[in-house]
Amino acid sequence: MFRQIIPISALLFGSALLLMAGGINGLILPVRGSAEGFSAFALGLLGTGWAIGYVSGCLLTPRLVANVGHIRSFGVMASMASVAILLSLVFLSPAAWIVLRSISGFCFAGAAMIVESWLSERADANSRGKIFGIYTMVNLLAATAGQMSLTLGDTKGYLFFVVGAVLYCLALVPTAISSGHSPKPLFAVKLDVPALWRNSPIAVCGVFLVGISNSAFGTLAAVYADRVGLVLSTIALFTSLPILAGAAAQIPVGILSDRMDRRKVLVGIAALAMIADAAFIILRPDGQITNLLLVSFFGAAIFSMYPVIVAHANDHAAEGTGIQTSGGLLMVFGVGSIIGPLLAGIGMSSIGDSGLFLTSIAAHGCLIAFAIWRISIRAAVAGKHKGGFAISPQARASTPQTAVLAGEDFAPGEDTAS
């Protein structure tokens, strides 16, 4: 194990710094923005801006890397992300933050793709699965640590903006001093929605709706928690525990989806998410323990849906097209992520805090209805034709290059930037 980790330790460290900075950046803005009196609609637009930048980064980074190389491209991404978070401190206005958040989304997607490309190049067939697992675990812990670090200081000052910028800059160091050769060109995703729809309509519809729900929660969860009166330490837990619960839930969910119709598993998970949605809407809990228990249950449901959808789509995909399918679905998820925070922000501004979970319950209800309809008209994939369920990082932390690192059926040289 250590023999496999040592050669990639610098890259893992750089990725951890990147995700830790991203965790700080993603939480300090809604917390500080809420304290500054920004509306829920404006704070929702931060998530929309981030998603627009993220999708753009996934689409454009392969071309940039092909032109100037991995190291220079990574340097641009990390330095611009650092500038964006510092300028967020200088310009305390929603309009400026939306633009700067879109830059952060672009830079995060690009930097993550470059790191994953490097790791993929270092991995062989025997070690790829372990390296992907370690990479996913490191990123999960780093992002959680970044969010939890906000409990250690005053969010009303400049401290966490500066710390986030410093971490982005430090993430430059491992790649800047790398003596190895630059890896092969990045995988360039081609968004072909008609082809994805022909392959699996439920995957396209489902991943779009999950993008709406998950991005709305990821952007405005801290705002909701603040408005129901939770203290900062609990707000950090409110945003971190769902991700951890979702990661843990993928193990039993994956086992179950390998043994039965994945669409039925998806319906069951969405139903559980709707129960949590309804509990937040009806009960309106204001206690620390109740909120943390409910949000953990909610996170276990919403953050385990995406890998089930991808696995179902890959069951229907032609051999050798797993990367294209996963990358395309990730872009559809990104489109949903653009819409979700906008809808939830409007809901929270017009009808109150429950607007967040009303947006989510509507998305989950539509998902269940569409899935039941598809189950009624199309037979399930036979067990012998199923691929294996793959544990995935949170979709917002994934890129098209993630599927390459995960070791799906990718033929080198296909669909890459030249």
What pLDDT is recorded for position 417? 36
**Rounded-to-integer distance, Cα 93 and Cα 95, Å:** 6
What pLDDT is recorded for position 144? 92
- With CA atoms as reference, report the closest residue to 89 among 32, 9, 148, 27: 32
Average pLDDT score over the chain: 86
Non-local (6+) Cβ contacts of 83 within 8 A are 103, 165
Q: Is the pLDDT of residue 367 over 90?
A: yes
Average pLDDT over residues 46-71: 89
In contact, 26 and 180? CB cutoff 8 Å: no
Average pLDDT over residues 174-192: 69
Average pLDDT over residues 277-281: 96
- With CA atoms as reference, report the closest residue to 226 among 235, 217, 216, 215: 235
Average pLDDT over residues 20-32: 94
Exposed, middle or buried: residue 243 (CB in 10 Å: 0-12, 13-18, 19+)?
A: buried
What architecture does CATH give domain 8-177? Answer: Up-down Bundle (1.20)
Q: Could you tell me which residue, 161 or 127, shows the higher pLDDT? A: 161
- With CA atoms as reference, report the closest residue to 5 among 115, 113, 112, 123: 123
Ranges of each domain in the chain: 8-177, 189-409
Q: Identical fold at 8-177 and 189-409? A: yes
Exposed, middle or buried: residue 30 (CB in 10 Å: 0-12, 13-18, 19+)?
A: buried
Q: Is the pLDDT of residue 260 over 80?
A: yes
| Number of CB atoms found within 10 A of residue 183's CB | 16
- With CA atoms as reference, report the closest residue to 239 among 257, 217, 259: 217
Helix (H) or strand (E) holding 15: helix 9-35
Average pLDDT over residues 361-378: 93
User: By mean pLDDT, which of 69-78, 122-131, 136-145, 167-176 is the weakest?
Assistant: 122-131
Listed ranges 145-149, 153-157, 379-383, 410-414; the one with the highest mean pLDDT: 145-149
pLDDT class of 288 with cuts at 50, 70, 90: very high
Topology, domain 189-409? Growth Hormone; Chain: A; (1.20.1250)
Helix axes 40-68 and 70-90, enclosed angle (nearest 10): 160
What pLDDT is recorded for position 272? 97
Q: Is the pLDDT of residue 71 over 90?
A: no
Name the DSSP letter for residue 396. G
SS3 303: coil
pLDDT class of 411 with cuts at 50, 70, 90: very low
**Rounded-to-integer distance, Cα 214 and Cα 98, Å:** 19
Q: Is the pLDDT of residue 380 over 60?
A: yes
In contact, 292 and 285? CB cutoff 8 Å: no
Average pLDDT over residues 137-149: 91
What pLDDT is recorded for position 349? 93
Q: Is the pLDDT of residue 17 over 80?
A: yes
What pLDDT is recorded for position 162? 95
What value, to the nearest 5°, has the Cα angle with vertex 196 and ends 255 and 399? 65
Q: Is the pLDDT of residue 182 over 70?
A: no
Q: Is the pLDDT of residue 412 over 60?
A: no
pLDDT class of 387 with cuts at 50, 70, 90: low
SS3 187: strand
For the whole model, what pTM was predicted?
0.88
Q: Is the pLDDT of residue 262 over 80?
A: yes
Q: Is the pLDDT of residue 27 over 70?
A: yes
User: By mean pLDDT, which of 7-11, 116-120, 207-211, 291-295 is the weakest?
Assistant: 7-11
Q: Is the pLDDT of residue 414 over 50?
A: no
Average pLDDT over residues 241-270: 90
In contact, 251 and 356? CB cutoff 8 Å: no
Q: Is the pLDDT of residue 266 over 70?
A: yes
What pLDDT is recorded for position 267? 95
Percent of the chain at pLDDT above 70? Answer: 87
- With CA atoms as reference, report the closest residue to 302 among 197, 216, 234: 216
pLDDT class of 416 with cuts at 50, 70, 90: very low
pLDDT class of 296 with cuts at 50, 70, 90: very high
What pLDDT is recorded for position 407? 64
pLDDT in tens, 193-243: 888 888 889 999 999 999 999 999 999 999 999 999 999 999 999 999 999
